């Protein structure tokens, strides 16, 4: 890693047996052929929606209320906002915001997906809902090589990320690129590390990963161009976070 430590680069050498760990941990179901949708602010899909929902206060991320805003670390200057369409919806919009001075600015956005059954403020293993909250982003990896080895988050390249071939072919590339969401995991480890500090019942291995056009088990899935952009752009020195949830919970 160029900033903050030594980057991991684990050459893809794991046999199919190594995939058993990933099968147990991945818990996600998205893989991608989508493209940058240019979607607007909170869950919107067009520039008009973006303009109509833009807040007067540039120091706030659009659509994020006091409860979650206060959980964004003061030193964070990159935020991936995930705007779920509804409490029980698998559809969402991902927007990358960057902070300059005290103001947040929209950088890019993509149509995306979240848990098949929507969102929850009390996530548990196999509930097929994505957890609402603010989580740091510290580690990345995948089957494919790091798209920018000289920048970005620490990256672990390994065949052990590959989705099981017992899954539908549309899911085989789910984990070509992943960014670990720091929910019930140990920061500074590969995204597929099995450690669950809060216990297995709280779930884990919740990632940003490649999208295949429908809901996941709990992860947030983003089209390949979006994942590549995030992997090149997210900078450990800027303390990136993800702010995620359905629009109603985000505003609370």
* Residue of 45 and 154 predicted with greater confidence: 154
Instruction: Give the per-residue pLDDT at 42.
Output: 57
Of the candidates 85, 106, 83, the one whose C-alpha atom is nearest the C-alpha of residue 94 is: 83
**Residue 229 has what DSSP assignment?**
H
Instruction: Give the per-residue pLDDT at 163.
Output: 95
> What is d(CA 141, CA 18) in angstroms, rounded to the nearest whole number?
15
* 229-246: average pLDDT: 98
Instruction: Give the per-residue pLDDT at 9.
Output: 46
Compute the residue count for the chain: 252
User: Which stretches of 147-217 are assigned E, i.e. beta strand?
Assistant: 155-157, 178-180, 207-210
Per-residue exposure over 162-192, b if at least 16 CB sit within 10 Å of its own CB, e if not: bbeeeeeeebbbbbbbbbbbbbbbeeebbbb
Contact 233, 54 (CB under 8 A): no
Q: Picking from 17-26, 107-116, 127-136, which range would have the lowest pLDDT averaged per residue?
A: 17-26
Half-sphere exposure of 22 (CA within 13 A, CB side): 29
Instruction: Give the per-residue pLDDT at 174.
Output: 97
- Residue showing tokens 């602010």: 41
Instruction: Give the per-residue pLDDT at 139.
Output: 98
Contact 112, 211 (CB under 8 A): yes
Residue 82 pLDDT > 90, yes or no?
Answer: yes
Q: Picking from 52-56, 160-164, 165-169, which range would have the lowest pLDDT averaged per residue?
A: 52-56
Report pLDDT digits (tens) over 21-76.
333 344 463 333 333 444 344 544 434 444 445 446 999 999 999 999 999 999 99
Contact 180, 140 (CB under 8 A): yes
- Residue showing tokens 């702010």: 243
* Residue of 135 and 49 predicted with greater confidence: 135
CA angle 17, 20, 22 (to 5 degrees): 125
Instruction: Give the per-residue pLDDT at 1.
Output: 39
Report pLDDT digits (tens) over 178-229.
999 999 999 999 999 999 999 999 999 999 999 999 999 999 999 999 999 9
pTM of the model: 0.82
Contact 42, 88 (CB under 8 A): no
CA angle 188, 11, 155 (to 5 degrees): 30
Instruction: Give the per-residue pLDDT at 181.
Output: 98
Alpha-carbon dihedral of residues 217, 66, 73, 185, nearest 10 degrees? Answer: -20
Residue 252 pLDDT > 90, yes or no?
Answer: yes
* Residue of 100 and 13 predicted with greater confidence: 100
| β pairing state of 140-142 and 178-180 | antiparallel
């Amino acid at each position: 890693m160029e900033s903050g430590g030594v980057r991991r680069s684990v050459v893809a050498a794991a046999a199919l047996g190594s995939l058993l760990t990933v099968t147990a941990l991945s818990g996600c179901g998205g893989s991608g052929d989508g493209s940058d949708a240019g979607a607007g602010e909170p869950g919107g899909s067009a520039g008009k929606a973006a303009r109509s929902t833009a807040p007067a206060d540039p120091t706030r991320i659009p659509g994020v209320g006091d409860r979650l805003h206060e959980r964004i670390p003061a030193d964070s200057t990159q935020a991936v906002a995930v705007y779920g369409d509804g409490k029980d919806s698998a559809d969402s919009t991902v927007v990358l915001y960057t902070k300059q001075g005290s103001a947040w600015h929209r950088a890019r956005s993509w149509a995306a997906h979240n848990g098949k059954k929507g969102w929850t403020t009390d996530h548990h293993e196999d509930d097929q809902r994505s957890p609402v909250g603010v989580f740091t982003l510290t580690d990345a990896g995948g089957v494919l090589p790091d798209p920018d080895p000289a920048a970005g988050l620490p990256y672990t390249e390994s065949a052990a990320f590959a989705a099981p071939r017992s899954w539908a072919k549309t899911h085989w590339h789910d984990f070509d690129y992943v960014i670990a969401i720091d929910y019930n995991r140990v920061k500074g480890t590969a995204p597929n590390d099995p450690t669950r500090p809060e216990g297995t019942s709280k779930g884990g291995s919740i990632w940003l990963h490649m999208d295949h056009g429908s809901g996941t088990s709990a992860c947030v899935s983003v089209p390949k161009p979006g994942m590549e952009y995030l992997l090149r752009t997210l900078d450990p020195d800027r303390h990136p976070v993800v702010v995620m949830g359905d629009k109603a919970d985000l505003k609370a």
